[in-house]
Amino acid sequence: MGKKNYSAANAYLREAKKLASGASKDLDWTLFQANYLTGDYYIASSMLNSAFAQGKTVGDLKALIVDPRFSDMGKRSEFKKFFPIISGTTTAKMYAR
């Protein structure tokens, strides 16, 4: 991710998720970012939902969307359920489907 090679990071992180013995909010959070940056918004939305279900917070998301790479997130239909969080109209925690 640090080298801005998001496709390679995504592949590496997916392999790590396969091999992991348990769930990890940080791994899912990073997978959300990698998938978002590679344009796989459906998977990104799923990983964001999972990260929230495991303990990521509204503050984490609000801190992320100031990054220009994520600034259009509020306009994407895949993130519709997160719009209230992005716009600041709720602090509700998201849960897994």
Confidence band, pLDDT 50/70/90 cuts, at residue 47: very high
The verdict on residue 22 lying in a domain is: yes
The domain tally of the chain equals 1
CA distance 87 to 34: 22
Name the residue range of residue 32's domain: 6-87
The verdict on residue 95 lying in a domain is: no
The verdict on residue 97 lying in a domain is: no
Question: What pTM does this model have?
Answer: 0.81
Stronger pLDDT, 58 or 39, i.e. the higher one: 39
The verdict on residue 92 lying in a domain is: no
